Structure 1
């Protein structure tokens, strides 16, 4: 497979990263449907849906199968970052939305509208363009090399800008306009997410080298990346839940996906020099492919049946360890109209992004 600018064929590591990202999307997309089926069974058996305070789904084996499936998918995505650049792995996360939408159409009988089909086609097309023109993954022999990349002036400048912007958003804008402007909370999540993915990639590479026989756990840099991942995850969880609790999910989800993916790719380009040595044609193709994927994802989100779901009161959306752009949390405690059945309420409250 040749890049548009004459680059060499995809490396073995890139192929492994692509395969793992695709497996991840398949498992995560499928987990949404399995968990919904489990919620349906639990609501039917107990008569109390999760959205009205019921927890009977915790005793439903099918729901746990869905959770395990999701965890397997997230592990695969985590490992994918150790093999392939973020500019390749991150956009492929959109394919999980396609898997979920298609399976929901056939299994849950949730109608996939014409624009939704177009969104699927756009995501697939854009992903293929990105894969064809993807940069090669750098050969890294030690976490010390990653530390050197992380401490280069250009990336330190990016980190400093992120910290300043997040601080201003958290301590100045959030108290004033956080409850009225969706961009405040989503920007904090996206900015911190770009740093967390870089740390996840560094940590994943360290573990990969360790499993290959070169122990990286003896270096303090490895544990520093663990600390950064933990800090970023906690911050993202906090402000993503604030965003989902305050605004309609149909607004939060596409905005978060676009901002998170764009900033993550930008951070990867700065830190890992993903575009170094690539031709202008290949870089342009990757940008176009990314725009097509983002546009397709937005179409998939806006064509979902959100019009019957009012603004939520309480939504729990824990981020996955691999910090992909997918919102894999469960949406609970929506305010529903009295005409809907408990089963319909559960399914709508568990709408996945």
Structure 2
């Protein structure tokens, strides 16, 4: 039996969508701030070791980097919970709000100048996020994580996922070593490609946990653990290349484009 969905809300929005909205916004706040704190930690680590952009891992012993990492984890947990309540079409675009937070903090704390087009981009993020939040569709009820798995294993999506994985591997093994420090699109490409699979898997895992907590146990389905493995693999890879991007010469652009 499907978990009951609540239809009461405010402003024409269901209560589940409202919960997802609140969680997504709080997630953006934590994640946006985490970029700045992590970058401060990476800068400190670079002063005493090899920069992350060149393969160094001295940031792992830098407390400030871990504070930023904890902030990001809190934000990702909130984001994860948001996917359990609201449709991905509502939650994912709201992640763009972290761009505004990162830009504002980078301007005030890191003394990175925010240009006119950057300000315009922030305004567009706000307008777009509000528009999507006001017109987000209602999510259909899901009875089991197996329903999501059936959708994810349809030929069209499998073809897309295969293209994404191959493209990411090509970037990681052939493009990053040669152009990672000179081309803005390399790290962005790796994180964004894998991010598309992360969103789908996080949504599926969120649904599984929501159903489990409501009394419909999904933990004994292998599909649940398959989605969890995909999330762990994609997220760990994204974090690794995000750290490289943050310490690259075009770090400000990477933060903004990857904040979502």
TM-score by length of 1: 0.56
For residues 163 and 17 of structure 1, do their structure 2 counterparts lie closer, same or farther at Cα, with a shift above 3 Å needed?
same
Which structure has the greater CA radius of gyration? 1
Q: 1:24 aligns to what?
A: 27
Q: 1:159 aligns to what?
A: 161
Query: 1:218 offset after TM fit, Å?
Result: 0.7
Contact 1:203-1:225 at 8 Å conserved across structures: yes
Query: 1:103 offset after TM fit, Å?
Result: 5.9
Contact 2:246-2:252 at 8 Å conserved across structures: no
Do residues 326 (structure 1) and 259 (structure 2) align? yes
Q: 1:120 aligns to what?
A: 122
CA distance in 2, matches of 1:217, 1:141: 14
Secondary structure at the counterpart of residue 190 of structure 2:
helix
CA distance in 2, matches of 1:165, 1:71: 27
What CA deviation, in whole Å up to 9, does each residue of 1:17-51 have, x standing for no partner?
A: 11111122233345567x49x97xxxxxxxxx555
What CA deviation, in whole Å up to 9, does each residue of 1:231-289 have, x standing for no partner?
A: 222332344444455542134344xx3xxxxxxxxxxxxxxxxxxxxxxxxxxxxxxxx
Contact 1:143-1:216 at 8 Å conserved across structures: yes
What CA deviation, in whole Å up to 9, does each residue of 1:211-236 have, x standing for no partner?
A: 11111111111111111112222332
CA distance in 1, matches of 2:95, 2:30: 11
Query: 1:150 offset after TM fit, Å?
Result: 0.8
Aligned residues: 238
Q: Which runs of 5+ in 2 are unaligned?
A: 1-10, 50-58
Q: 1:53 aligns to what?
A: 48
CA distance in 2, matches of 1:68, 1:217: 26
Equivalence map 1:104-143=2 (5 Å): 116-143=118-145
After superposition, the CA RMSD in angstroms is: 3.7
Q: Which runs of 5+ in 1 are unaligned?
A: 1-7, 40-48, 258-324, 328-353
For residues 67 and 235 of structure 1, do their structure 2 counterparts lie closer, same or farther at Cα, with a shift above 3 Å needed?
closer
Q: For 1:199, which of 198, 201, 206 is the aligned residue?
A: 201
Query: 1:125 offset after TM fit, Å?
Result: 1.1
Q: For 2:231, which of 219, 229, 250 is the aligned residue?
A: 229
CA distance in 1, matches of 2:130, 2:164: 31
For residues 212 and 192 of structure 1, do their structure 2 counterparts lie closer, same or farther at Cα, with a shift above 3 Å needed?
same
